[in-house]
A and B are shown apart, each in its own frame.
Chain A
């Protein structure tokens, strides 16, 4: 069996003391980041990338560290959702629906344990799924030519814009902003600078890390200044934590269904964890019917979105590793990490750098167990962290962002750009324009244009070549459907709004 041989290689790397230490450390930091209100997986991972890069870790170690942070943040997000009714990021929103009522009813400990176990189930099953599916998809990906890649990139923008936003036109604008920014700098084919408006600093283009940290982290600081930290509700006290074995066992089917749904949602390029937790919750709600009492604080309502959300986190790694197309905001940030480390995701990654892929998968499996331990018996430690007030946290986040970006290039211009992106991110989010497509555009813009141009070189300028294969046509159809269908489904699939007390 190839799989076992590969896994053995992976564990060989992951079990080395240094890598193991990185994984545990990453899990710890990740859970803290997830638990802190105002920091989610995407901005948390974003501000750490420049620092990881500056620490000079090798590719595998850096990847293990950051994916451990990523998984950890997915686990940690539920803590602030349940105790404070503040979702750390969008996928965690669904957990507040039943988690917070449950905490208010004095069962905060139970809610944390059940959601922790559900997170483990989701993350564990999806890591297994990733292990089985990714090599297969990598085989298919070898058949992809430039025309197919172009259609695939389009699909990612279409589904992301279609599903994750309320207004298609605004999502498309966001994608175009990202793609437009990606064009700035020296053109790969001709070697001539373009769209740099004569500014020397723009000749190299705009570093995607600058944009990511600006849009995600700095914009968040502006939101806190706007609200004067008023969003920090007092929250619920956590008394003692016991394990409600019976209740956990009663949610086993919920966890399984949530994991499968979340994994599939995660694989879809552009859909990601928000969709995973949303679909998992809605499915369970309709399976349970009126008697399920969803929304009043029931165990299944906590287990479903957490299983879905964490499974989606693993599922999103499948298209990211095999095709280089991220499935969510956070995986977009992880793609940025890979690109910083000079690893090109895609089918060749599996054949040329198996140690990276399998080391990563093995680390994820280990990280899961570590996270289960941290998030169930040790959950009280992380609950303490919630009491860090925003007037210390947010300036801290800003300073870390500045130092991270500054340590990359040492240029004040990048810092100014970052502040600019922060302002842009604040305005756009005010106007309900999603910012994740911008990141995706900056990351994928170069590749997208390259694949279009290579396709046209192959076909000698014949545009019908873009639709010349079965795979390409399928991708185009799914892209159009993914963009258009949500317009009609919006009334049917109404997102539950956050509960207020």
Chain B
């Protein structure tokens, strides 16, 4: 109940913000009868309406995970964000091994297998991508290439 009420309210607010920013879209002098504003405004309005509906008639709450699991998920997101930033400057092998190992540990908390999974995936996938598929991946940090 509470989840859906919050969800409905968030959807409504975001949609209204979307509609508001859609009214600010510049039109060019070559405007067609509909213009670039109408469709986004239409979509935003429908979403806002449905958001209100969901907030008024909520479904039952889903089973949210325990705080500890939410923490694990937050760590996973943080690690993936870090990976996104690290992939270019640090090359493929190192960030991939670390990220894969952490994710693996979070699914099944055993350090040994997780470390092996991380290194194995990193090296194995690099070999597949680089040599079988011919993608232009960089293996190591940029500084080490000179």
Using a CB–CB distance below 8 Å, which chain A residues touch chain B?
A: 51, 54-55, 166-167, 169-170, 172-173, 176-177, 179-180, 183, 187, 189-192, 194-195, 197, 218, 221-222, 224-226, 228-229, 389-392, 394-396, 398-400, 402-403, 406-407, 410, 412, 415-416, 418-419, 422-423, 426, 430-433, 448-449, 452-453, 456-457, 460-461
Contacts and interface: CB of A to CB of B under 8 A. Distances in A.
A391 B137 CA distance: 25
A169 B53 contact: yes
For A51, A192, A431, the residue with the greatest tally of chain B CB atoms inside 10 Å of its CB is: A431
Given A225-B72, A416-B81, A430 B62 contact: yes
Contacts of B62: 430-432
B99 A225 contact: no
A497 B64 CA distance: 21
B40 A170 contact: no
Contacts of A461: 33-34
Judged by DSSP, the binding face of A is: helix
3 closest Cβ contacts across the A-B interface? A415-B84, A461-B33, A176-B47
Given A180-B47, A423-B77, 7 more contacts: A51-B133, A170-B54, A170-B59, A172-B47, A189-B30, A225-B73, A226-B73
Interface string B88-99: 100010001001
A55 B134 contact: yes
A167 B57 CA distance: 10
B14 to A, nearest CB: 9
Given A177-B47, A399-B96, A197 B117 contact: no
Nearest to A441: B43
B90 to A, nearest CB: 12
Contact of A229 (B69, B108, B136): B108
B103 A398 contact: yes
Contacts of B81: 416, 419
B66 to A, nearest CB: 10
B127 interface: no
A357 B108 CA distance: 45
